């Protein structure tokens, strides 16, 4: 077990475990250790890894990424038939559950201020990944609402980042889902920082509409059957018909004086989900736009805020180690 020196594989094997969910890269568990500490353990699957050295070098880079909006990576275990990652445990679940869970009577809606805060925190986490290692051009590769976790203070923390380099062509992760950029949906290995921006744009649309990334379209002409349409296409069609108000989640209609902010975030989301990668904004600019919407003062040095030079936790030597 490499990473947290106080943690041994035996500790994990003795821990009581509860499954948290299955994702594209594997299954996550909540593990309660003998000393009472709680961690999240990810059991990886379907990764195309050339060898232990390649895996360890990449884990070294990911392990040095420290940011308030990234889930803390604590340790890893590598064997031919078993690969485990240990993270800090997030007690308040994920964004997907907050948005879509318990829809119906008795549900506590996710208010607008919280949605904006989550959008801003997620953008900052992605910005740090994109800018922390200039020589590697790191990407997240799997941005979706189940990978935005919420800490005890309500802050967004991005998880499951950096594993797209190990995607095998046959992996379910590499296939299309509602968050996939058009170019990545055609070829799951064509993941870039620009495809991350598209996925984040879909996540913003999810926050605004309260709808899942792939939705049922009941207006399809013909036999009366519903068809599945992706969220960006649905939003574009509604906005084109000048029914913009129809886009927004009904749960948001109870809040006063937020229409301008909602339309502002919608414009950011639509810019991020442009079909052409070159037309999508860089994440630093997205962070700046969301901060301006929230009325947060933006410093002139914002573009370099999350760069390597500003962060002692990641060095260029570490980046080069895995090249």
Annotated binding site for ATP: 42
In a domain, 127, yes or no: yes
pLDDT in the model for residue 273: 97
In a domain, 111, yes or no: yes
CA 54 to each of CA 16, 50, 67, 78, 166: distance values in angstroms, whole numbers, following the listed order: 31, 7, 24, 11, 10
Residue 167's pLDDT band (cuts 50, 70, 90): low
Query: Do 140 and 268 sit in the same domain of this protein?
Result: yes
How do residues 92-148 score in pLDDT, each as one tens digit?
889 999 999 877 777 888 999 999 999 999 999 999 999 987 777 889 988 999 999
Higher pLDDT, 284 or 186: 284
Residue 72's pLDDT band (cuts 50, 70, 90): confident
How do residues 268-296 score in pLDDT, each as one tens digit?
999 999 999 999 999 999 999 999 999 88
Domain count for the chain, please give it. 2
In a domain, 60, yes or no: yes
Q: Which of 32-36, 84-88, 283-287 has the lowest mean pLDDT?
A: 32-36
Higher pLDDT, 257 or 45: 257
Query: Do 66 and 159 sit in the same domain of this protein?
Result: no
pLDDT in the model for residue 103: 73
Query: Do 180 and 49 sit in the same domain of this protein?
Result: no
pLDDT in the model for residue 116: 96
In a domain, 43, yes or no: yes
What CATH code is carried by the domain that includes residue 66?
A: 3.30.200.20
Query: Do 182 and 240 sit in the same domain of this protein?
Result: yes
Query: Do 238 and 108 sit in the same domain of this protein?
Result: yes
Query: Do 104 and 77 sit in the same domain of this protein?
Result: no
Annotated binding site: 42
On the question of pLDDT at 257 being above 80, the answer is yes
pTM of the model: 0.84
On the question of pLDDT at 35 being above 90, the answer is no
In a domain, 50, yes or no: yes
In a domain, 102, yes or no: yes
pLDDT in the model for residue 259: 93
What CATH code is carried by the domain that includes residue 203?
A: 1.10.510.10
Domain end (from 34, 57, 89): 89
pLDDT in the model for residue 299: 59
Query: Do 290 and 208 sit in the same domain of this protein?
Result: yes
Domain that holds residue 71: 10-89
Beta carbons within 10 angstroms of residue 242's beta carbon: 8
pLDDT in the model for residue 187: 67
Query: Do 58 and 78 sit in the same domain of this protein?
Result: yes
Query: Do 85 and 193 sit in the same domain of this protein?
Result: no
In a domain, 256, yes or no: yes
Beta carbons within 10 angstroms of residue 157's beta carbon: 23
Query: Do 218 and 107 sit in the same domain of this protein?
Result: yes
């Amino acid at each position: 077990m490499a990473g947290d020196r106080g943690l041994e594989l035996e500790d994990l094997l003795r821990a009581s475990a509860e499954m948290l969910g299955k994702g594209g890269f594997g299954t996550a568990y909540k593990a309660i250790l003998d000393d009472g500490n709680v961690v999240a353990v990810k059991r990886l699957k379907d990764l195309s890894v050339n060898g232990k050295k390649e895996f360890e070098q990449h884990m070294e880079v990911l392990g040095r990424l420290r940011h308030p909006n990234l889930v803390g990576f604590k340790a890893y275990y590598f064997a031919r038939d078993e690969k485990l990652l240990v993270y800090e445990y997030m007690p308040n679940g994920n964004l997907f559950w907050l948005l879509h869970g318990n829809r119906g009577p008795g549900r506590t809606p996710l208010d607008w201020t919280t949605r904006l805060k989550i959008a801003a925190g997620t953008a900052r986490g992605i910005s740090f990944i994109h800018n922390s290692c200039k020589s590697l051009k790191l990407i997240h590769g799997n941005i979706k609402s189940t990978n935005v976790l919420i800490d005890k203070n309500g802050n967004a923390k991005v998880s499951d980042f950096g594993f797209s380099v190990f995607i095998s062509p046959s992996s379910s992760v590499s296939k299309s889902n509602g968050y996939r950029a058009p170019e990545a949906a055609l070829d799951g290995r064509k993941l870039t920082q620009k495809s991350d921006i598209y996925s984040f744009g879909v996540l913003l649309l999810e926050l605004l509409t309260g709808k899942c990334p792939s939705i049922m379209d009941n207006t399809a002409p013909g036999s009366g059957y519903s068809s599945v349409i992706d969220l960006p296409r649905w939003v574009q069609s509604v906005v084109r018909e000048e029914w913009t108000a129809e886009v927004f989640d009904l749960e948001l209609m109870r809040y006063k004086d937020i229409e301008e902010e909602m339309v502002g975030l919608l414009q950011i989301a639509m810019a991020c989900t442009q079909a052409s990668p070159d037309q999508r904004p860089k994440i630093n600019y997205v962070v700046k736009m969301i901060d301006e919407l929230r009325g947060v003062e933006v410093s002139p040095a914002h573009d370099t805020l999350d760069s390597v030079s500003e962060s002692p936790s990641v060095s260029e030597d570490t980046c080069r180690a895995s090249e």
